Amino acid sequence: MDIAPLAHSLQTGDRRSLARAITLVESARADHRAQALELLQAVGNGKQALRIGLSGTPGVGKSTFIESFGLLLTGQGKRVAVLAVDPSSARSGGSILGDKTRMERLSRDPLAFIRPSPSQAQMGGVARRTREAVALCEAAGFDIILIETVGVGQSETVVAELCDLFILLLAPAGGDELQGVKRGIMEMADLILVNKADGDLKPAALRTCADYAGALRLLRKRPQDPPGYPKAMTVSALEQDGLETAWAEMQALADWRRAQGHWATRRGQQAQHWFTEELRRGLLAVLEVEPTRGIVAAEGQAVAEGRSTPEAAARQVLALLHRA
Amino acid sequence: MDIAPLAHSLQTGDRRSLARAITLVESARADHRAQALELLQAVGNGKQALRIGLSGTPGVGKSTFIESFGLLLTGQGKRVAVLAVDPSSARSGGSILGDKTRMERLSRDPLAFIRPSPSQAQMGGVARRTREAVALCEAAGFDIILIETVGVGQSETVVAELCDLFILLLAPAGGDELQGVKRGIMEMADLILVNKADGDLKPAALRTCADYAGALRLLRKRPQDPPGYPKAMTVSALEQDGLETAWAEMQALADWRRAQGHWATRRGQQAQHWFTEELRRGLLAVLEVEPTRGIVAAEGQAVAEGRSTPEAAARQVLALLHRA
């Protein structure tokens, strides 16, 4: 494959080229990998989109939200890309964005680009693939990148280290009903949106919103938050209600962070985070190769059963590796 | 040093031997390290204490709580050890347990053993030292080990991976006042105790308790929790009020987990966690040695400033290491 023309047509904003480029960075083949690095080098990192992470468990109406919110943005002339971080889809063989039929109108919008998550099992791989897809979308001139996650496993951490704003989407809960918010996700949220604030569910949505607003107040303030943030709000993706207000909040928060220098600082920290992650991953890869992998598993079992101590077992494996 | 007599006297419960043994595991000297491993091997892991992690920011009355709660336990004939995990003390040069004067009565109690945190900067070192001190306290026949942390940095994670129960101690907050609970700590708590529920502060303590009870209900249920847990309660360490109820809750929770098999499972998982941590730490240690350390810092800076990408920088460092 000739990389220079692909890089060029991608930078003009051509969606087919963007799709081909993402397929390239997703490939595990060594020759594809080399081409992918060449491509990323060629397109550079001169353009920045607003990266919005969106987390929500199944049933909160995430697809409807992305459809409505995405159309609101494209209606304002913004170019919107939607990516998914979903390591679990590799297990089920499916993709949380499905075949795009769940976002029919947005997927037909010429200003939008929707990319389902690939079938790829390894979390490190998912992180790198998403990070590179984000870079390609920015190079293609998209204004806003929505990065969707179902918030299982470590995917929310990946998204938090990739995005400028993190949105948690919730459904109304009745009374003492548990929302099942994954421990740790609430802490990352810049904005909590309680969806389905329409019809019969509206009172429950308002109550749920008040509960979360209360819970947010119990958390320590972060330096990257202006007074009053993180916020909880109600929206109805179905009735397109509250979405403009939510978008105004996101813009206000992003503008504040840009003005205060938090934006640039955070982007730099995120890049350093991924550098460190890649480095660690490269060094620890030796543990995934046989015979070490089997030895680590056996020693781990011995430790779990109390037949060995963590220190003694680790010493043994390290000694084996240093002899090799 | 002759290890066998030390191991023997420690196992009889002698507090001076325990103190000497902990000093040995805290030492960074290579010969001491070898003796420490020999000692840990000699005492084995046949006895188990109830390990209670206790987190709370300065000002919540942690010392008073430990004093009152510890005396309640020794009053029931239990042997109680108090350890501290405090990586920050290395910077300030002090110890959160101070010179024991803050727990005057407990420190004079023959059934109690109080060990201030050592001046040691490195988190991995703090974790290992605390883990080994816990093992020594168990070998010395203590029934309950209180592991105290101020909940800064990663110390709460260390404590969560060391203890059977995790208690978060809070102070009453007035109205909308922020408690400054470190993001992530609330999620680890098995029991939230709002202290200072006495005198003028009692109404505020009750309100704070209700707020946290509400926030706990919004979190996903963990398999290791029986119905109704995690709980929030008020106590007054000063007036020794509510401590017996809190202790009854801790025992009920511990008993349930033992009966359900969660206790043993968790201990096995914790041991495996520390094995993996030691292994990773051993492999990543190469990054802390010059000239690699300097190269990693320079590449990280280049990545943060956008002059290099995370992937390219990581590849470069890894290539250098593989050539070496």
Q: pLDDT digit string (tens) for A96-122?
A: 455 456 788 998 999 999 987 765 545
Give the closest-approach CA distance of B254 to chain A in angstroms.
20
pLDDT of residue B89: 44
pLDDT of residue B181: 64
**Residue B193 is which amino acid?**
L
Give the closest-approach CA distance of B28 to chain A in angstroms.
15
Distance CA(A273)–CA(A275), nearest Å, equals 5
pLDDT of residue A120: 53
Pair A58, A92: CB distance under 8 Å: no
Superfamily of domain A45-278: P-loop containing nucleotide triphosphate hydrolases (3.40.50.300)
Helix (H) or strand (E) run with residue A80 in it: strand A80-85
* Facing residue for A282 by CB, picked from B41, B178, B314: B314
pLDDT of residue A178: 47
Asked whether the beta carbons of residue A299 and residue B275 sit closer than 8 angstroms, the reply is: yes
Distance CA(B155)–CA(B57), nearest Å, equals 12
Q: Count other C-beta atoms under 10 Å from residue B60's C-beta.
A: 23
Where in chain A are the domains?
1-43, 45-278, 289-323
In A, which residues are within 8 Å of B182 by CB distance?
220
pLDDT of residue B180: 58
Give the closest-approach CA distance of B146 to chain A in angstroms.
22
In A, which residues are within 8 Å of B318 by CB distance?
279, 282-283
Please report, rounded to a whole number, the percentage of residues in chain A having pLDDT higher than 70. 87
pLDDT of residue B86: 64
Asked whether the beta carbons of residue A218 and residue B181 sit closer than 8 angstroms, the reply is: yes
Pair A6, A21: CB distance under 8 Å: yes
Burial track A214-235 (b if 16+ CB lie within 10 A, e otherwise):
ebbbbbeeeebbeeebbbbbbb
Distance CA(A168)–CA(A202), nearest Å, equals 18
For A1-43, CATH gives 1.20.5.170
ipTM metric: 0.80
pLDDT per residue over A115-169, tens digit each? Answer: 877 655 454 567 888 899 999 999 999 999 999 887 655 677 788 899 999 999 9
HSE (side-chain half, CA atoms, 13 Å) at B318: 19
Distance CA(A241)–CA(A64), nearest Å, equals 12
Asked whether the beta carbons of residue A274 and residue B310 sit closer than 8 angstroms, the reply is: yes
Angle, CA A247 vertex, CA A221 and CA A235 arms, to 5°: 90
Architecture of domain B1-44: Up-down Bundle (1.20)
* Facing residue for A180 by CB, picked from B220, B275, B318: B220
User: How many CB pairs below 8 A link A and B?
Assistant: 167
pLDDT of residue A265: 92
| Alpha helices per DSSP H over A154-242 | 155-160, 185-188, 202-217
Average pLDDT, chain A: 86
Positions of chain B with pLDDT lower than 50, given as ranges: 89-96, 99, 121, 123, 175-178
Interface test with B, best of A129, A267, A274, A276 (most B CBs within 10 A): A276
Print pLDDT tens along chain A (324 aa): 789 999 999 999 999 999 999 999 988 888 998 899 899 989 988 889 999 999 887 778 888 999 999 999 999 999 999 998 765 543 343 444 554 567 889 989 999 999 877 655 454 567 888 899 999 999 999 999 999 887 655 677 788 899 999 999 998 876 444 455 665 677 788 999 999 999 999 999 999 999 888 888 877 778 888 988 999 999 999 999 999 999 999 999 999 999 999 999 999 999 999 999 989 988 998 898 888 899 999 999 999 998 888 888 998 999 988 776
pLDDT per residue over B182-201, tens digit each? Answer: 656 777 889 999 999 999 99
Asked whether the beta carbons of residue A215 and residue B220 sit closer than 8 angstroms, the reply is: no
pLDDT of residue A312: 86
| CA nearest to A268 within chain B | B304
pLDDT of residue A174: 60
Q: How far is C-alpha A213 from the chain's CA centre? A: 23
Record: fold of B46-260: Rossmann fold (3.40.50)
